[in-house]
Amino acid sequence: MFPDLWRKPEIVIIGGEFRHNLPANYVSKQDTRSVNESSISMRLLIAALLATASILSPLASSAQSVDVEATIKAVDTKKLSITLDDGKTYKVPEEFNFDGLKSGVKVVVFYTVVDGNRMIDDLQVRQ
């Protein structure tokens, strides 16, 4: 009986269904691996995932919005940008409405840095 437990399985197709010739008490060689080996490999996998997550987490926090209060120095509708009195240029989205924005207007600009460019998320006019 013991040699039957380790015989090579034979799989046949009968009536469109897969059938095997294994006894009900068949134990594969893969199932004989100890519990310690399984738990060690699982722990290594979890440790690798946690290490990857901790390395990538600072990247997500760097995309936070920053705000600045300043006066508009120049508005360029063709380049889709606004220059403030701090000397920095801020890019705006294509659908941005430039109505009421001109040199000398005080604003609060909320922006994020994307690929080295300051992209305006929101802009509020101060009086």
List, as one string, the DSSP characters of 32-57: GS-HHHHHHHHHHHHHHHHHHHHHHH
Q: Is residue 70 domain-shared with residue 122, that is, in the same domain?
A: yes
pLDDT score at 30: 55
Are 70 and 57 part of one and the same domain? Answer: no
CA distance 12 to 19: 5
Mean pLDDT of 95-119: 89
- Identify whether the C-beta of residue 70 lies closer than 8 Å to the C-beta of residue 106: yes
User: Is the pLDDT reported for residue 29 higher than 60?
Assistant: no
Confidence of residue 116 (pLDDT cuts 50, 70, 90): confident
Angle at Cα 105 formed by Cα 103 and Cα 106, nearest 5°?
Answer: 135
Residue 116 or residue 62, greater confidence: 116
Shared domain for 56 and 85, answered yes or no, is no
State the pLDDT at residue 127: 76
Question: How many structural domains compose the chain?
Answer: 2
pTM score over 0.75: no
The answer, yes or no, to whether residue 74 has pLDDT greater than 90, is: yes
Q: Are residues 17 and 57 in the same domain?
A: yes
Q: How far is CA 39 from CA 34, 36, 45, 57, in A?
A: 9, 5, 10, 27
- The predicted pLDDT at position 3 comes to 52
pLDDT over threshold 80, residue 105: yes
Range of the domain at 84: 66-126
Within this chain, do residues 38 and 79 fall inside the same structural domain, yes or no? no
Average pLDDT, the chain: 77
